[in-house]
Amino acid sequence: MNHSDYILYLEWFTIKQHAPHCINNQHALHVIKVNIIYLTYTKVFDCHQITPGGYMITRTIQMVIFFTDSLQHFSSLSSSSPAHTPKEEYIIAKSEDSGEIDVVKSSATEPSPGPEHAGKEESSTWEEQLCAQQEQLEKEMQETRKMVTRLQALLLHGSLPEDEQTSTLSFGDSTSSEQQLILIRSRLDQSMEESLDLKRELLRYKQEARNLQAIKDALQQRMSVQEDSVLQLKQELLRSSMAREELEGQNVELERKLSERNRLLSEYKKELVQKDRLLQQQQSKLDDALRRISESYHRVTERTTNGDELQLVRDALRSLRDSFSGHDPQHHTLDTLEQGVASLVDRLHTTESKKRQERKGSTRSPGRKANHTDRESWPSSSKMAHSHSSPVLSAAASTKVLYYTDRSLTPFLVNIPKRLGEVTLQDFKAAVDRHGFFRYHFKSLDPEFGTVKEEVFQDNAVIPGWEGKIVAWVEEDHGEGR
């Protein structure tokens, strides 16, 4: 045993004897750290000093195992403290050799706390001091464990963990089973330590992965919310665009309708101007017609007066006729008197019309004059039921009606201003003008029976003719009313 071996053994024996009796955990941990650093940076691990028997390596590994057991003992003491809070994650610091030596020197030359510092510690509570010491002890234990791990790697592989491991040291065949057991135990401890470090890193990476997954889920959820918002905005944009297109279509339709209304308005204005002109013309014509009507009013008044007088004569004759029996010969006298009065009135109207036409110098055609005369004479002749003739009537525009009554043996003759084939029973009743219920028979030609009397009931039925005229029989209806 040389001088270096003796010093190493002495240090190891001293630590082994006195480490359990150290003042506190920090003191023992400091002694272990100093010896580990000393062992690491001495020439014990020089390859030229390693004997074939591996005696120095075996002793060194035994000391490392002792240091590891001491660390575990201090860890158990620290974990039994009520204020201890274990830390699951830590970062392995790779410091340089010179940095570690500076740490040892600074820890060796650290001055002791002065009276002022002691006074401050006394002022703090016991719990705070215990927590601070516990945290400081944890940090130093972690650093010490790192150093032990580096020392085991250096002993087993001949290099530090951060260096490339080219080969593994072996003791050869002369090593004892105890040395092999120590070596295997040290390798097992190192492997367990590495596995713990890997587990811690794995836990840290898993935690980071969970955090990233949570962030990813949050981002995906936010992205889905944003996509929903974008989709909703697109739908609103589509609806607004459709509404805008609809409004544009309505505007185009309204513009078209407005142009159509403007066109119609312009046309209506033109028509209104034309209507105004026509209205002025019609107003002038109306004034002229009013003047003419005022002139003819007096003539109409005179004619109405004559008609009223004739109606009075007819009513008197009818009442006188009703006072006689059905076959009294005085009926013939009354009929002759009524026909004479009617003929006289017709002649007076005809004479007055001719004089008026000559006085005005009318430019009407003879046919139109005749028609006008017929129209003027028709109301009088219709009221004169028993007149024999109307000399001013035209044969082409009127029909002669010859009818018999049951009270007179002499037939009556009237003119109806319609052509044969157009005269109806209503026209015949108006021409006869008799009050009461009567039956009307007309002479007609039947293809099967020849000449017959045909009775007509409907007012709008056409009366049959006979040789260019109408022959009728008017009989009172005593059995039933029509």
Is the pTM here over 0.75, yes or no?
A: no
Q: pLDDT value at position 52?
A: 37
Helix (H, G, I), strand (E, B) or coil at 466: strand
Torsion of CA 314, 318, 321, 327, to 10 degrees: 100
Q: pLDDT value at position 320?
A: 72
- H or E element that contains 443: strand 438-446
The CA–CA distances, whole Å, from 206 to 197, 215, 295, 338, 478 equal: 14, 14, 127, 141, 132
Going by DSSP bridges, is the β-strand pair 408-416/438-446 parallel, antiparallel, or unpaired? unpaired
Q: Rounded to whole angstroms, how far apart are CA atoms 204 and 89?
A: 7
Cβ distance 418 to 375 under 8 Å? Answer: no
Q: Which residue type sits at 223? A: M
Question: Which segments of the chain have a pLDDT < 50?
Answer: 1-24, 40-41, 43-56, 78-113, 115, 171, 363-396, 481-482
Q: pLDDT value at position 48?
A: 37
Q: pLDDT value at position 235?
A: 95
The CA–CA distances, whole Å, from 420 to 284, 423, 428, 468 equal: 42, 6, 12, 7
Q: pLDDT value at position 295?
A: 76
Q: Hey, what domains does the chain have and what are their CATH numbers?
A: 3-175 (no CATH), 324-476 (2.40.240.130)
Q: pLDDT value at position 243?
A: 95
The CA–CA distances, whole Å, from 356 to 67, 296, 299, 302, 369 equal: 165, 10, 10, 14, 12
What is the length of the chain? 482
